[in-house]
Amino acid sequence: MEWVLGVLVGVSLSAACGFRVFVPMLVMSIAVHSGHLEPASGFEWLGSWSALLGFGLATVVEIVAYFVPLVSNALDVVATPAAVVAGTILTASMVGELSPVLRWTLAAVAGGSVAGGIQAATVSLRSAATPAGASGLVSVAEDGAAVVTSMLAVTIPLLAIGLLGFSGIFLMRRKHFRANRV
C-alpha cells in the first residue's frame, strides 16, 4: 500500500513539472535532503548537496527566463520534453516496491503524461496571453502553481491530486462553455 502513496506524491510532483520543470525537482531535493521523503533505491542522489544546488540554480534561471518573451518561447520548446522526463523521474523515484519494468512503465504513463499534458496546456495558455500582454501574469501564475503543487505533493499528496483534478475539470468545463457560447 505504500507504493500508492508514492504514486500520489510522484504524480503530484510530475504535475508541478508541467508548470515549471525545476521547481518540483528542487522541492523534492529539499524534502529528501531534510529526511522528509525517502526516495526509492537508486534515487538517493536527489537529496545530495550537488543536486540541491543544481536544482536551485536551474530553478532561478528557469523562472527568470520566462519573463523574457523571446527566451520564454525558446524555453517552451526545450521545457516540454524536459517536463515529461522530469515527471517520469520524479514518479519513478517515489515508487520503490514495484519491479523495475512496472515502476518505469507507471512512471512514464502516469508521471510523464501528466507533466507533458500540463506543460502543453501552459504553453497554449501563454501563447494566447502573449498578444494581450498578459504573458508575465501567466508566468507568475505558473510559478505559484508549481510551488504550491510541489509543496502539497510532499506534505499532503491526496489534496494536491484533488486540487489538480478539480482545476482540470473547472478549466475544461469553462473552455467547453465558451466554445458552445460562440
CA-closest candidate to residue 76, choices 33, 134, 135: 135
**Three-class SS state of 35:** coil
- Give CA 100 to chain center in angstroms: 22
Domain spans of the chain, in order of start: 2-181
Q: What is the pTM of this model?
A: 0.84
pLDDT greater than 70 at residue 39: yes
- Write the pLDDT tens digit of every residue in 106-143: 999 999 999 998 888 888 877 776 665 566 787 888 88
Q: Which residues contact 121 (CB under 8 A, 6 or more apart)?
A: 18, 171
- Write the pLDDT tens digit of every residue in 57-85: 999 999 888 888 778 778 878 888 999 99
Helix (H), strand (E) counts: the chain: 8, 0
The secondary structure of 86-119, three-state, reads HHHHHHHHHCCCCCHHHHHHHHHHHHHHHHHHHH
Pick the most confident of 88-92, 121-125, 178-182: 88-92
